[in-house]
Structure 1
Amino acid sequence: MWKYFLFSFLIILSINYSGASIGDRSPYYQRCLEKCEILNCTKDGIHFIKEYHQPLHLKWTFWFCSDECKYNCMWKTVQSFHEYDLKTPQFHGKWPFIRILGIQEPASMIFSLLNLYAHLKMLKIFVKRVRPDSPLYFMWIGYCLVCCHAWFWSTIFHARDFLLTEILDYICAFSIVLVNCYIVLVRMLKYILPRFLLIILTVFFIAFFINHSIYLYMGRFDYSYNMKVNIVIGTITALCWFIWCLVHQKKQPYVWKCGMYVALTGLVLPLEVIDLPPIFYIFDSHSIWHLATAPLVSLIYSFAIDDCRYLRKIHFEDVENQKSKEL
C-alpha cells in the first residue's frame, strides 16, 4: 500500500501543474480521456474498475489507471491529427514518446545514465592520478558528486515524469551550472583572495542555491526565471573560463582542454533549445543533447587532473624554496 500512498501524493502535487498544449486541449483528447476514466478508473484515478491484468513493468513504474488513459488517448489523438494532415501535437508541453518497459522517455533516460557513468568513470581515473594533498583536489571531488547527483535525478525524471521528479531534475541541473561557476571563480581567485573571503564566497554560493531551490519548489515553478538564471550564470562561467585560459595558455599548455570543453558545451547547447518532434517518437533534441554531453566529460576531468598536478608541483616548489631561504 505504501506505493499507492507515495504516488497519490505525487499525483496531488501534479494537479494544475502542467501547462496546456494543443494536444491535451483538443476536444477529441478531452472526450477520449473523460470516457476512458469513467469506464475504467476509480475516482482517485489509481485503480482499475474492470478486471485488468496490467503488465508487471507498468506496475513497477507506477502507471496507474488515469496514466494509462492519458497515454492511450494521447496516441489516439495523434492519429486523429495525422488523419487530417495536421502536425504532431504536444501534450502538457511535451512531445508524445513511445514508452518502453514503462519508461516514459527511454532515450533521454539512457543518455542521462551514460553521463552518470562518464562522471563515475572519470572520478575513478582522477582519484588514481591525483594525490589527495593536491590543491583543489576535494573541490573537484565535490564537483563530481554534484554532477552525479544531478544525472541521477535526470534519469529518474525521464523514466517517470511527476512534478516532484521534474523539480528535482531542474534544481539539480542548476546545481551543475552553479558549481561550474564556483569552480572557475575559486580557480581564478584562490591565490589572490585571503582564505576567509573564499569561505564567504562558498557560503554565498550555497545560500544562493538553497534560495533558488526553495523559490522553485514553493512557488509555481517559474520556467522563465529558472532559464534566465541558468543562462546568465552559464554565460559568466564560460567567459571567465575563456579569459583565464587565454591568460594562462603559455605557462599551462593543458588549459586548451578546459577551453575546448567550454566551447564544445556551448556548441551543443542549441540542442536543448530546439523543440522538434522526436524521431521515431523516441529521439528528441533534448535526448541527443544528453548524448552529446557525455563524451565531453573526459575533457574537463583531464584538465582537472593536469591542473591539480601542476598546482601540487608549484606548491611543493614554493615550500622547498622557502626552506632553502630559511637555511
Structure 2
Amino acid sequence: MWRYFIILSILIKSKLAWASIGDRSPYYQKCLDRCHLLNCTQDGKYFLGEYTQPLYLQWTFWYCLDECKYNCMWKTITTFHDLNLKTPQFYGKWPFIRFLGIQEPASMFFSLFNLYMHVKMLKIFQKRVRYDSPLYSIWISFGLICCNAWFWSAVFHTRDFLLTEIFDYIFSFSIILVNFYVMMIRVLRFKLHQSILIFLTILILAFFLNHGLYLYKAHFDYAYNMKINILVGTLAAICWFIWCFANRNNQPYVWKCALYVALTGLVLPLEIIDQPPLFYVFDFHAIWHLTTAPLVFLIYSFAIDDCRYLRKLHVEDLNFEGNQKSKFK
C-alpha cells in the first residue's frame, strides 16, 4: 500500500503535467532503478545472468534498460488504475502494447499501407502516362519522396530513437514541401522562364536541407517544425484550390486535386487529438495514417489526367508549329 500513498503525495504536491507523469512517478523510478540494478549491465545495454532475449526483440534493438522501461511502464499503469487515476504518458508518449518488438504496431502497419499505396499508384502512373509527357519526372519524384517518407515513418513507429524520430519528422516535412513544389511548378511552368524555375528548385532544396540541419543541431525544435509545416502546407492548399477553381471549366478533372487537398485537411485534426490509445494499440495518430492511405489514389489519378492533358497540348503545339513552318516553305 505504501506505493499508493507515495504516488498520491506526488500528485498533490507537484504541478507536473500529465504529459510525463508516468515516468516521473516515484513508483516507476524505483521500479526502473531496481530492474536496472538486478538485470542489466551498468550501461543498461546487456542482460546479466543466463537470460536469452528473443530474436525479434534483439533485431528491434530492445536493450536491457529498454525492457526495464517497458515492464515498469505497465506496472506503473496498473498502480495508477488501482488508484482510479487516468492512464499516464511516459516520456511524453502514450503506452502501447508492442508486437514482435514493434513499439507502435498500428501506426507502423498503417505507414506501410501508405507506402504500398504510393508504390502501387506509381506503377499505374508509369503505365498510363508516357515518359516524355510534361511533368512526368516531377510526379515520379513526388512519388519517390513520399515513399521514402512513409518508409521512415514505419521505421520510427517500429522503434522510437532520436535518429529515427528526426528522420521521420524531416521526411514527413518533405511530403508537404514536395506538394508545394509540384503546385508551384504546375501553376508557374507556363508563366516563368525555365531558368527561374530551376532557381526556385534550388531554393526549395536549400530550404529543405537547412530545415533538416536546424532540427538536428537544435535537438529537435518541435514548435518551429510545426509552424513551418502549417505555413507551407496551408500555402500549398490555398494555391491548389485557387488554381483548381480557375481551371474547373477547361480541365474538369481538377476536382480530384481539390478533393484530395480538402480531405487531407479534413482528416488532419486526427493528428492533433491527444488521447490514450484504444486497447493500447489504436490512437488517433494511427487512425490518421489509415485515413491518408486511400487519398493517395486521388492525387495520382489527378496527376495521370493532368499529364495526359499537358501532353495533348504539347502535341497540338508541335503540330501547329509544323504546319506554320510548312506554309513558309
TM bin (shorter chain)? over 0.9
Note the 1:245-284 alignment, pairs <5 A. Answer: 245-284=244-283
Task: Please name the residue that 1:107 is paired with.
Answer: 106
Percent of aligned pairs with the same residue? 67
| Separation of aligned partners in 1, 2:19 and 2:275 | 18
> Please, what TM-score do these two structures have when normalized by structure 2?
0.93
Note the 1:75-224 alignment, pairs <5 A. Answer: 75-224=74-223
| Separation of aligned partners in 1, 2:123 and 2:219 | 39
Unpaired runs of at least 5, structure 2: 1-17
Unpaired runs of at least 5, structure 1: 1-18
| Separation of aligned partners in 1, 2:141 and 2:299 | 14
| Residue identity opposite 1:57 in structure 2 | Y
Task: Please name the residue that 2:70 is paired with.
Answer: 71
> Please, what TM-score do these two structures have when normalized by structure 1?
0.93
| Separation of aligned partners in 2, 1:28 and 1:163 | 26
| Residue identity opposite 2:83 in structure 1 | Y
User: For residues 194-247 of structure 1, what are the alpha-carbon distances to aligned partners after superposition, in whole Å with 9 as ceiling and x for unaligned?
Assistant: 000000000000000000000001112100000000000000000000000000
Task: Please name the residue that 1:296 is paired with.
Answer: 295
| Residue identity opposite 1:179 in structure 2 | V
| Residue identity opposite 2:113 in structure 1 | L
| Separation of aligned partners in 2, 1:60 and 1:78 | 27
Q: Does residue 34 of the first structure (1) align with residue 33 of the second (2)?
A: yes
- SS in structure 1 of the partner of residue 282 of structure 2: coil
Task: Please name the residue that 1:237 is paired with.
Answer: 236
Q: Comparing 291-300 with 53-62, which one deviates more in the overlay?
A: 53-62
| Separation of aligned partners in 2, 1:56 and 1:178 | 39
| Separation of aligned partners in 1, 2:211 and 2:227 | 12
User: For residues 160-199 of structure 1, what are the alpha-carbon distances to aligned partners after superposition, in whole Å with 9 as ceiling and x for unaligned?
Assistant: 1100000000000000000000010110100000000000
Task: Please name the residue that 1:55 is paired with.
Answer: 54
Task: Please name the residue that 1:313 is paired with.
Answer: 312
Q: Is residue 39–residue 48 contact of structure 2 (8 Å, CA) maintained in 1?
A: yes
Task: Please name the residue that 2:6 is paired with.
Answer: none
| Separation of aligned partners in 2, 1:194 and 1:98 | 55
What is the CA RMSD across the aligned residues, in angstroms?
A: 1.0
Q: Mark the structure with the bigger radius of gyration.
A: 2
| Separation of aligned partners in 1, 2:54 and 2:196 | 58
